[in-house]
Amino acid sequence: MRLRTLGEKEVIRAIRREFSKPRRDIVIGIGDDAAVVKPGRKPFIFTKDLLFEGVDFITSLHPPFFLGRKSLNVNLSDIAAMGGKPKYALLGLGLPSNLDLTWIKEFLSGFHSAARKGGILLIGGDLSSANKISISVTVVGEGKNIIRRSGGKPGHILFVSGFLGDSKQGFLLLKKGFKLGDDKRADPLLKAFLDPIPQTSLGHELARNRVASAMIDVSDGLSVDLLHICDESGCGAEIEFEQLPLSPSLSYFQKRPLPLALHGGEDFQLLFSVAPRNLEFISKLQRKFKITEIGRLTSKKGILLIDRKGNKKSLEIKGYEHWGRSPV
């Protein structure tokens, strides 16, 4: 059977089946935003992300400086989703032999600017020739109060940071020929795709104060990522879809912004659940961070969209699927 017909879930299942043996020093293995191990007294968080030319980015549309930043920042988003603090990075680059040194220098300069901002050191990696640009980044972090996907409970309130759907709309505009600086209303959307910012401080605050019961970063799309929280927590969820945080720019360029907010992907915002007793702390955080209440976890399996009048319909799960088709 071919990957195209199987999909990503089946491959991850095959990997989990092959490597199922638990060991005492593994706190969190395959299946969360990042892995957590505890070889001594301190727990360490590991995450790895691959970016391939033509699949995850289009070289002609993506300035190398931003691509360098994004390669690191998507990993920092995974560490943020565990509530950890990033420390070290390893960078693997597969580069075609006709690539210009300027491209590499700008890419490295972008990677470095994100590393400086995140307090991270590049400690090593690997270089190879490749037919297309291939980027593989591993980040190591530390974290005490790690937040998993599995801690949600019925009645916990769902929140999301920032705006949803901007990144996908930015990608659509880029493909239409929009460029940074051309149009002030388009710029935040283009930036959301080209240069997403990881929610490191928010993730760390939520973990440090043990406020979030479950957390994930919205990378595959809200619907898919909420389903991960529901599956791992053994819950269902209701989303008040009219409450989803949509940016003015998204509403300006897109007549039907809801599908992008639900299924767009690459938002790199944090989606988390909070027990009612901790809601007061969230109010405090809302002075510092943009956080929107979007629904709640329920005991009944499945995800429902609910409107202001209380009408419910079930949510179709669509999100980015490798070896399949993109939803938009």
Task: Pick out residues in 92-151 that bind a second copy (CB under 8 A).
Answer: 92-101, 104-105, 108-109, 111-112, 115, 121-132, 134, 136, 138, 140, 142
**Do 304 and 312 meet the contact criterion of CB atoms below 8 Å apart?**
yes
**Do 163 and 244 meet the contact criterion of CB atoms below 8 Å apart?**
no
Residues 211-250 that bind a second copy (CB under 8 A): none
Q: Is 281 near a second copy (CB under 8 A)?
A: no
Name, in order, each residue with C-beta under 8 angstroms of 247's C-beta and a sequence gap of 6 or more. Answer: 163, 165, 166, 188, 189
Q: Which of 59, 61, 63, 90 binds a second copy (CB under 8 A)?
A: 90
Interface mask toward a second copy for 55-74; x: CB under 8 A: xx------------------
**Do 279 and 211 meet the contact criterion of CB atoms below 8 Å apart?**
no
Give the residue with the Cβ less far from a second copy, 3 or 279: 3
Residues counted in the chain: 328
How far is the C-alpha of 2 from the C-alpha of 281, rounded, in Å?
A: 49
How far is the C-alpha of 117 from the C-alpha of 281, rounded, in Å?
A: 26
Q: How far from chain centre, in Å, is Cα 146? A: 17
**Do 238 and 306 meet the contact criterion of CB atoms below 8 Å apart?**
yes
Q: Which stretch binds a second copy (CB under 8 A): 5-13, 148-156, 205-213, 290-298?
A: 5-13
Q: Is 26 near a second copy (CB under 8 A)?
A: yes
Give the residue with the Cβ less far from a second copy, 139 or 303: 139
Q: Is 13 near a second copy (CB under 8 A)?
A: no
How far is the C-alpha of 260 from the C-alpha of 222, rounded, in Å?
A: 9
Q: Is 23 near a second copy (CB under 8 A)?
A: yes
Q: Which of 29, 154, 259, 302 binds a second copy (CB under 8 A)?
A: 29
Give the residue with the Cβ less far from a second copy, 287 or 325: 325
C-beta of 121: minimal distance to a second copy in Å?
6
- Say which DSSP state 101 is in: H
C-beta of 78: minimal distance to a second copy in Å?
9
Q: Is 47 near a second copy (CB under 8 A)?
A: yes
Compute how many residues bind a second copy; rule: CB under 8 A: 77
Name, in order, each residue with C-beta under 8 angstroms of 230's C-beta and a sequence gap of 6 or more. Answer: 152, 236, 237, 297, 301, 303
Q: Is 52 near a second copy (CB under 8 A)?
A: yes
Coil, strand or helix at 17: helix
